[in-house]
Amino acid sequence: MISEQTVSADYQPTPNLLAGRVILVTGATGGIGHAVSRRLAAAGATVVLLGREIKRLEAVYDELTEIGPEPAIYPMNLEGATFDHYPELADTIGEQLGRLDGILHAAAVLGRPSPVELYDVEAWYRTLQVNLNAPFMLTRACLPLLRKSPDASLVFTSDTIGRDGGPYWGAYGVSKAGLEGLMRILAAELADTTPVRVNSIDPGPVATQFRRDAYPSEEAGLHPLPEHVAGAFLWLLGPESAEVHGQALTVAPSRK
């Protein structure tokens, strides 16, 4: 599946490949999080849907119930969540579902692109809270559960801005660079001592509301839809990528 650190968007799992697995997806009500949640459910996984709005979570819950195992919903506002909320989430998953085999960190906010010199301080804090601090706290709280899985996968959604930099991306760019650093540190700490593998994946430009907010004047139809890149995430969360650890990956465009 991997060539020069790329992952094919055309990946198709064998039926019920993820049966019995429990996978937590943040940002599960929109964009890539939603698309990957659907693919996970179709492959047999029980998906824990994390998002801010109960009505939107319930709508995704209904979708997934029609195509796979009954999911679970967990409303949480990552911007306002405190230190105590993350262990409570981990405890709830452990008590009600009994295991956790993977986390996809898909939730992100854009912030307010501007020069660092002029960057709004409150917007900086809010963006880092959702995009970097929340993934750290959620991962930290859930690691004991992940360690108990025979094959756990921790996936951070990245961005070329976090890897290569670029002007005016401010807190968003810094947060993605921070996730890359967090991924590498975790991968080094967990290598050879646990069944938890850790990777990041850059989906490239995708036709999501996030993309439209970032590039409001961009012509429609230029980029793939979220469901057209979801296969790469599915592969990375499943057992067929068991040997991949500590890698900064990029989605290869679909051949379809």
Res 151 pLDDT > 70:
yes
User: Cα separations (Å) of 161 from 28, 94, 158?
Assistant: 22, 35, 8
pLDDT band at 217 (very low <50, low <70, confident <90, very high): confident
What is the dihedral angle through the alpha carbons of 80, 57, 227, 140, rounded to the nearest 10 degrees? Answer: 40
Between CA 78 and CA 108 the distance in angstroms is 9
- Provide the 8-state DSSP code for 83: T
What is the model's pTM? 0.95
For the segment 231-250, the average pLDDT, to the nearest whole number, is 96
Average pLDDT taken over every residue of the chain: 94
> Does residue 211 surpass a pLDDT of 60?
yes
Two tokens at 181?
């650093």
**End-to-end Cα distance, the chain:** 16
**69 has pLDDT over 80:** yes
Q: Which SS3 state, helix, strand or coil, does residue 184 take? A: helix
Tokens 């999501």 belong to 208
Both tokens of 111, joined, read 């912030």
Rounded to whole angstroms, the Cα distance separating 41 from 147 reads 22
Q: Measure the CA–CA gap between 26 and 131, rounded to whole angstroms.
A: 11
Question: Could you tell me whether strands 2-3 and 6-8 are parallel, antiparallel, or unpaired per DSSP bridges?
Answer: antiparallel
Neighbours of 91 (CB within 10 A): 12
Buried b (16+ CB within 10 A) or exposed e, 52-85: beeebbeebbebbeeebbebbbbebebeebeeeb
User: Is 172 one of the annotated active-site residues of the chain?
Assistant: yes
Phi, psi angles (nearest 5°) of residue 251: -75, 125
Q: What is the CATH number of domain 2-252?
A: 3.40.50.720
Sequence ranges of the domains in the chain: 2-252
Q: What pLDDT score does 193 carry? A: 86
Q: Around Cβ 93, how many Cβ atoms within 10 Å? A: 20
Question: Mean pLDDT throughout 53-79?
Answer: 97
pLDDT at 3: 39
Better-scored residue on pLDDT, 256 or 163: 163
pLDDT for 255: 62
Band of pLDDT at residue 1, cut at 50, 70 and 90 = very low
Burial category of 246 from C-beta neighbours within 10 Å (exposed 0-12, middle 13-18, buried 19 and up): middle
The tokens 């959604």 sit on which residue?
A: 157
User: What is the average per-residue pLDDT within 126-147?
Assistant: 98
Q: Which of 11, 86, 172, 215 is catalytic?
A: 172
